[in-house]
Amino acid sequence: MTTPTNETTSAEEKYRLALDYHAHGRAGKVEITPTKPTMTARDLSLAYSPGVAAPCLEIAKNPDDVYKYTAKGNLVAVLSNGTAVLGLGDIGPLAGKPVMEGKGVLFKRFADIDVFDIEINNRSVEEIVRTVKSLEPTFGGINLEDIKAPECFEVETQLQEIMDIPIFHDDQHGTAIIGGAAFLNACEITNRDISKVKVVVSGAGAAAIATANFLLELGVKRENVLMADSKGVIYKGRTEGMNKYKDAFANETKCRTLADAMVNADAFIGCSAKGLVSKDMVKAMAKDPIIFAMANPDPEITPEEVAQVRSDAIMATGRSDYANQVNNVLCFPFLFRGALDVRARKINEEMKKAAAMALAKLAKEEVPEDVKRAYGNENFSFGRNYLIPKPFDKRVLTWVAPAVAKAAMDSGVARMPIEDFNAYAKSLQERLGQVGSIMRNIRSRLPGAGKAEKPRIVFPEGTNARILKAVSILRDEGLIQPILLGNKKIIHRKMDELGVSNLKDLEIIYPEDNANYETFVKDYFTQRQRKGVSYSFAKDTMKRGNYFGSMMVKTGNADGMITGATQNYPECIRPIMKVIGTNSPGRAKVAGIMMLVFKQRVVFLADCTVQMNPDAHDLADIALSAAQMYRNVMQAEPRVAFLSYSNFGSNRDPQAAKMAEAVKIAKAKDPTLIADGEMQADVAVNADIMKNLFEFCSLDKAADVLIFPDLGSANISYKLLAQLGGATSIGPILLPLKYAINIVQRTSTVDEIVNMSHLTALISQEIKAHRALKHS
């Protein structure tokens, strides 16, 4: 069982940290960002008066055009009156605002849905309903939040009747869907027949009633449910503190307190308040008790307390710092995504059930590396401590949203059915950023799983844990044939430690025992004997992974190589250069190109890693290599900007002049190249500045490839962009080489090594194709 990760932090410290987090910089957690250019007077005349009249008139003629010309289709209101804020109770709309802003952040972070949080000073059902109804023109959906029971039931039901967009009370159904998914899996793990499970529900408010109702839909019998609220167990004939929603769960029972109800109960569902469950109550439960203590921020009982009295319990809370977070965050972003994407009129039972089933099923799939990393490299697999997926698992979006969308279509509430679910899945992945889609595109261009002719990629650092984990992923995918260099015994031991048993039959080469060793030594000696290399030195050299691996690639015993996970850059590049050298016999020297992937665009930066102070000829070659790489990877023609602190001759310093000269040389070598400079970085990446200040510039849009005057500026820029600009960096990709060999960074993660391996495999394929063309 996981304990809170930050258990050394005191409660007061956590409180202060949370306040600092919210107050730091711009107050609160959200801001509004325009999605259209607003740089110039022309832009503003389109965004606002007079231009804005055009979409207004179109929408007046055809109301559905509101989805075409405004943000409505992707805009959800998180609306609360603050009467049941988390488990903090009736603290009012103002005090509830941080929670509503927080929900908005989660909608955006997990499903790219925009949110206005709306806090209303309104307690009566009638007034809430009137207010929300009047907001219908603004929103694509309404997420009601933290409105207390029983008013919340009335509010939701009435709004669903009178409004034509999804109305969803998150505390009811979000909790029910996640609780339901986790409950199904907990029953499966403990071999329980759901129709016989005895459930105690603590709380009879929004979350509790909805979760109990959902469990009935999943197969729990009403007579097997005992519900308790602040007045004790709800039983037939009780009159105090009752309402019709509680009435529906009033059973014939002698139990009067929660403690009575817990005796021999199979499951506990808590949607009530902190600390209501004692260790004695847990002791009294049946074998393998299922305990979902979901009150926030503090559960009805903590996992530590349960562990003190029961080792057979399956435990979940609403918190992210324990295993099994049963929290509606795993539902509302993804459910709304599916509902908005088919422009559903409502969120109905079919859609809720589809979401729960998708989540329950996804939990049984193997958990990807990036999810484990997001949670401190914990090794999740379906079981007692992993009942449902994690919110940071990107697959939740691609599993839940399509399931919900399909259920909406099948149940007849979708106004805009999805025609191509494959294209829809792709669009969902793109919402989460471009890295995934770019890498998928690269993978899709590799020969394909199951085929004999897979690119063989050699990894000289065969004992490194990150390399082995990456190789394990590559092996599973089946697109690349990895080869490891190193001592077989040590590598096998490491594999056992890491639990990557799928690698045991992988080819492992210990250089000096390999049949090619003598030939490689001779080849290297012949090549370097006039550069001070003796035969015995060549023998020693060829025992080293980077030399042997490079030689394998050179002689066609491998198609590519990945190194660098454990060594510094010069240690890797020197052997490669000595064994292989560059592509052209003429001037072109090797350069390191970084691909920086931002949410909306991709830029290539060069030279980030090799040439300290390239001259104009070197820069032209670097640009041509980078442009070619861009074409290969992005399958598009790049715009190349030669960067400087000067714009088009504004400074005559030799460093600026060198960049202008490099443009001329590059264009002379490839007249089709779209390139210009020298120019400053803001001109290069902002098409508006470019157009407004330098309309003669031959790049008609922002540049895709940025060529820097020296290694210092390139290296600093890519690191800053990766750290501060939120870009994912892929590279450095070494070009031009005769062979596909790349150096990852010592800090590279498993996923980055996997990405580089795919890219290297792709480059190896292109080099092969190029050679075949030359020889045909």
Active-site annotation, residues: 103
Using CB positions, name the residue nearest to ligand NDP: 205
Q: H or E element: which one contains 485?
A: strand 481-485
Task: State yes or no: residue 557 binds ligand NDP (CB under 6 A).
Answer: no
Which among 568, 560, 480 has a CA at the least distance from the CA of 733?
A: 560
Residues across the chain: 776
For residue 74, the minimal CB distance to ligand NDP (Å) is: 24
For residue 131, the minimal CB distance to ligand NDP (Å) is: 20
Choosing among Mg ion, ligand NDP, ligand CC(=O)C(=O)O, none, which partner's interface includes residue 730 (Cβ < 5 to 8 Å by kind)?
none
Q: Which residue has the tokens 């839940």?
A: 400
For residue 154, the minimal CB distance to ligand CC(=O)C(=O)O (Å) is: 19
Helices (H), 503-645: 517-528, 535-541, 545-554, 569-579, 616-634
Q: Tell me which residues touch ligand CC(=O)C(=O)O (CB under 6 A).
A: 86, 146, 170-171, 296, 318, 327-328
For residue 567, the minimal CB distance to Mg ion (Å) is: 50
The CA distance from 319 to 708, in Å, is 47
The answer to whether the beta carbons of residues 114 and 102 sit under 8 Å apart is no
Which among 426, 427, 436 has a CA at the least distance from the CA of 602?
A: 436
Task: State yes or no: residue 247 binds ligand NDP (CB under 6 A).
Answer: no
Choosing among ligand CC(=O)C(=O)O, Mg ion, ligand NDP, none, which partner's interface includes residue 271 (Cβ < 5 to 8 Å by kind)?
ligand NDP
Nearer to ligand CC(=O)C(=O)O by Cβ, of 123 and 148: the residue is: 148
**Given the DSSP bridges, would you call strands 674-679 and 639-643 parallel, antiparallel or unpaired?**
parallel
Task: State yes or no: residue 207 binds ligand NDP (CB under 6 A).
Answer: yes
Helices (H), 145-299: 151-162, 175-189, 206-218, 244-247, 258-262, 279-283
Choosing among ligand NDP, Mg ion, ligand CC(=O)C(=O)O, none, which partner's interface includes residue 106 (Cβ < 5 to 8 Å by kind)?
none
Tokens of 296: 């926030």
Whether residue 607 is preceded by a cis peptide bond, meaning omega within 30 degrees of 0, is yes
Task: State yes or no: residue 242 binds ligand NDP (CB under 6 A).
Answer: no
Task: State yes or no: residue 141 binds ligand NDP (CB under 6 A).
Answer: no
Determine the interface stretch with ligand NDP among 277-285, 324-332, 421-429, 465-473 (rule: CB under 6 A).
324-332
Instruction: Return binding residues for NADP(+).
Output: 85-92
Instruction: Sheet with 456-459: list strands edge to edge.
Output: 507-509, 481-485, 456-459, 560-563, 740-743
Q: How open is the CA angle 204-179-199, to the nearest 5 degrees? A: 55
Query: Measured between alpha carbons, how far is residue 151 from residues 93, 119, 129, 154, 411 in Å?
Result: 15, 16, 11, 5, 28
Q: What is the DSSP secondary structure assignment for residue 172, as one 8-state letter?
A: I
For residue 446, the minimal CB distance to ligand NDP (Å) is: 42
Using CB positions, name the residue nearest to ligand CC(=O)C(=O)O: 296
Among 294, 340, 495, 573, binds ligand NDP (CB under 6 A): 294
The three-state secondary structure class of 574 is helix
The answer to whether the beta carbons of residues 234 and 246 sit under 8 Å apart is yes
For residue 497, the minimal CB distance to Mg ion (Å) is: 43
Task: State yes or no: residue 87 binds ligand NDP (CB under 6 A).
Answer: yes
Tokens of 390: 């994690």
Among 213, 224, 327, 550, binds ligand NDP (CB under 6 A): 327
Query: Measured between alpha carbons, how far is residue 124 from residues 87, 116, 118, 129, 172 in Å?
Result: 21, 22, 16, 9, 19
For residue 222, the minimal CB distance to ligand CC(=O)C(=O)O (Å) is: 25
For 446-451, the CB contacts below 8 A with 24+ separation are 446/479, 446/480, 446/758, 446/761, 446/762, 446/765, 447/479, 447/765, 448/479, 449/477, 449/478, 449/479, 450/478
Q: Tell me which residues touch Mg ion (CB under 5 A).
A: 146, 171
Nearer to ligand CC(=O)C(=O)O by Cβ, of 117 and 171: the residue is: 171
Task: State yes or no: residue 436 binds ligand NDP (CB under 6 A).
Answer: no
Task: State yes or no: residue 560 binds ligand NDP (CB under 6 A).
Answer: no
Choosing among ligand NDP, ligand CC(=O)C(=O)O, Mg ion, none, which partner's interface includes residue 273 (Cβ < 5 to 8 Å by kind)?
ligand NDP
Choosing among ligand NDP, Mg ion, ligand CC(=O)C(=O)O, none, which partner's interface includes residue 203 (Cβ < 5 to 8 Å by kind)?
ligand NDP
The CA distance from 406 to 608, in Å, is 47
Nearer to ligand CC(=O)C(=O)O by Cβ, of 119 and 170: the residue is: 170
**Which residues of the chain form contacts with ligand NDP (CB under 6 A)?**
84, 86-87, 148-149, 171, 175, 203-208, 229-231, 241, 271-273, 276, 294-296, 318, 326-328
